[in-house]
Structure 1
Amino acid sequence: METFLGIDYPTLWFLVVGGLFSGYAILDGFDFGAGAWHLFFKKEESRRIALNAVGPVWDGNEVWLVIGGGALFAGFPVMYASMFSAMYIPFILFLLFIILRAVSIEFRSKEEMLWWRKMWDISYSVSSIMLAFLLGVVLGNVLQGIPLGENFEYQGGPLLEFLNPYAIMVGLTTLALFMTHGAIYLLMKTEGRLFAKLTILVKRGIIFFVVIFGITTIYTLIYIPHLSDTFREDPVMFAVPLATFLCIANVPRLAMKHRYKLAFLFSALSMSFMLMLIAIELYPVLLISTIDPQYSITVYNAASSEKSLGIMLNIVAIGAPLVLAYTVFVYSTFKGKVKMDETSY
């Protein structure tokens, strides 16, 4: 098996896909979170400012989802096929809500009527909430496993089997995390009355996240024991969950001190470390079979050929710096507080 720096190609591609989805969670996570708070803003000006805070970047953030999905399909086609077959409904709902959210942002300012703007405000906020929740639901199913049989075919029953208690808890945890992340981002972009309102909302978001995260963690340790096996076997690995908890604890501390840029950084690091925890817990498995472990999908039985992975890794080496450069350029161009003008939403 071919390697690069001592790491085999399937594992390298596993890291690439994980890095892309981490970037997506951090970037689109804050604008989903900002949208989830949208109906809490009562004044027209506040809602417009909140929309314009994410306006220049939200569609660029979704590039990471497209690239991540493409990388998953190219590198692990078996995983892509089995996961989309098993969770067809949540993925279709995700697609519908992501379209509805984009339409809401673009259509809201096209007419002056109150009912028109209120309709798109509701659409924007509900779709943002559902997108965050559905991402967590899919993640929850991946973590606990799904019924895969021979040839990695989905053997599930009811249409709503994906809405099990653990998936719902992970979905709510993801929503709470994104809402906290989004509130901190809006604090960096706003001032005046809206800023004052957000200082209250971010406290509520943090409390919501800490409570649901604690409940989900306890449930995981008790009822999903395979997710902590790696850490029990290798105590050195406890450095990762320790770093995760320290990052999470730093978010409210920095927010209370009004150091919002650092709070946003640690919120992003919290997401990265949580996804790193998931990667460590699952590797080399990508999708656990609850029927029989031999039917589980791994980075090795799901990967494309080594030649394909090698070619794609070269493409990543060229494309990834370009995507990062584009992201840095956009955020540096639109840095600072939001100012309303004739081009605003």
Structure 2
Amino acid sequence: MELTTFWFLLITVLWAGYFLLEGFDFGVGILLPFVGRDDRSRRLAINTIGPVWDGNEVWLIVAGGATFAAFPEWYATLFSGFFLPLLLILVSLIVRGVAFEYRGKRDGVTWRKRWDISIFVCSLVPAVLWGVAFGNILRGVPLDARHEYVGGFVNLLNPYALLGGLTTLALFTLHGAVFLALKTDGPMREQSGQIAETMAMVAVPVAAGFLLWTGIAHGDGWGIAVSVLAALTLVAAIPLTRARREGWAFLATAATLVLAVAALFVTLFPDVMPSTLDPANSLTVHNASSTPYTLRVMTWVAVFFTPVVLLYQGWTYWVFRKRLKLSDIPA
């Protein structure tokens, strides 16, 4: 296997891990106003992701760093062309992290309400914009002969990309509801299960529409096959949610997100950013990559450290595997 292909696959894994883990983080934040009838309930919801949310964001940092090191021209074009949406995502992630830490610093009702609103908004915005961003990457953007983005912000707000944003929003919200049902007990578990049922009925047609559009406009054999698997796991989440099999339902929504990311990258390969002006202007794994020596050094680093990180994060989730209930939250 060529090193360029290896790093394309590794970046795919990193984005799949990020969507899988940060996806339920965003979902819990989006659902915070709906499952938290009072401050203790909201604290219960936040505590389900309290030990892991910051670790989940490391996947984004590593994915961005890997893209910068392995495919610098892809990184440069992506961050210059998508500057505004990526800036909004970055600001949202910063404010969201501050909100988690600061909402408990004072006892005032207004103080906590403002931070709760910040958590909701700053979970909602990235959940939509990530879908819009990846929808545009798959659809293609106007790149000139120097591989520079020559469109504007309005070009990114096309129907296909906006449907991608609605898809990630629906999937993350469903994923978060299932996670809350899995991690809590008592009234919140039941309420989260009911929300998951409703969100599953919303997510299925939205995601099916996006996957169908992708298959017709951009799909190849392997991309369509992986998309079908993603659709099947999403449909499987409906009866599992209704039966209150939270563990299996979470595995189903997790598989859906991982397979959806895999389908996107499989469909994209060997391009990393297609050009809508001229296919010759597209960025590929070959013309956007670093030198072979850089890729070799990075590969040895990745081979050593990636299993260590995975083992550590798996251990973290094992330690905090216990369900939480309202009685665990002090008044």
Q: TM-score, normalised by structure 2?
A: 0.95
Give the superposition deviation at 1:22: 0.7
Alpha-carbon separation, structure 2, partners of 1:154 and 1:285: 15
Q: CA RMSD of the aligned region, Å?
A: 1.8
Is residue 2:42 matched to residue 1:42? Answer: no
Q: Aligned to 2:104, what secondary structure does the other structure show?
A: helix
Distance of aligned partners of 1:344 and 1:172 in 2 relative to their CA distance in 1, 3 Å threshold: farther
For 1:288-327, list aligned pairs within 5 A.
Answer: 288-327=274-313
Is residue 2:314 matched to residue 1:328? Answer: yes
State the match for 1:63 in structure 2: 58
Unaligned residue ranges in structure 1 (runs of 5+): 1-6
Listed one character per residue, the Cα deviations across residues 256-311 of structure 1 (whole Å, up to 9, x for unaligned) are 11111111112111111111111221110000100000000000000101111111
State the match for 2:231 in structure 1: 245
Distance of aligned partners of 1:62 and 1:254 in 2 relative to their CA distance in 1, 3 Å threshold: same
Q: Aligned to 1:150, what secondary structure does the other structure show?
A: coil
Q: Which runs of 4+ in 1 moved over 6 A?
A: 340-345
Alpha-carbon separation, structure 2, partners of 1:309 and 1:95: 27
Q: Which moved more, 1:10-19 or 1:275-284?
A: 275-284
Listed one character per residue, the Cα deviations across residues 246-265 of structure 1 (whole Å, up to 9, x for unaligned) are 21121112111111111111
Q: Aligned to 2:196, what secondary structure does the other structure show?
A: helix
Contact (CA 8 Å) 2:223, 2:263: kept in 1 or not? no
Which residue type is aligned with residue 141 of structure 1?
N
State the match for 2:94 in structure 1: 99
State the match for 1:169 in structure 2: 163
Is residue 2:77 matched to residue 1:82? Answer: yes
Q: Which moved more, 1:333-342 or 1:60-69?
A: 333-342
State the match for 1:144 in structure 2: 139
Contact (CA 8 Å) 1:72, 1:80: kept in 2 or not? yes
State the match for 1:280 in structure 2: 266
Q: Among 107, 114, 127, which residue is 1:112 paired with? A: 107
Contact (CA 8 Å) 1:52, 1:344: kept in 2 or not? no
For 1:95-244, list aligned pairs within 5 A.
Answer: 95-157=90-152, 159-221=153-215, 225=217, 227-228=218-219, 230-231=220-221, 239-244=225-230
Contact (CA 8 Å) 2:273, 2:282: kept in 1 or not? yes
May I ask how many residue pairs the two structures share in their alignment?
A: 330
Which residue type is aligned with residue 115 of structure 2?
W
Work out the percentage of aligned pairs sharing the same amino acid: 38
Alpha-carbon separation, structure 2, partners of 1:249 and 1:54: 26
State the match for 2:49 in structure 1: 54
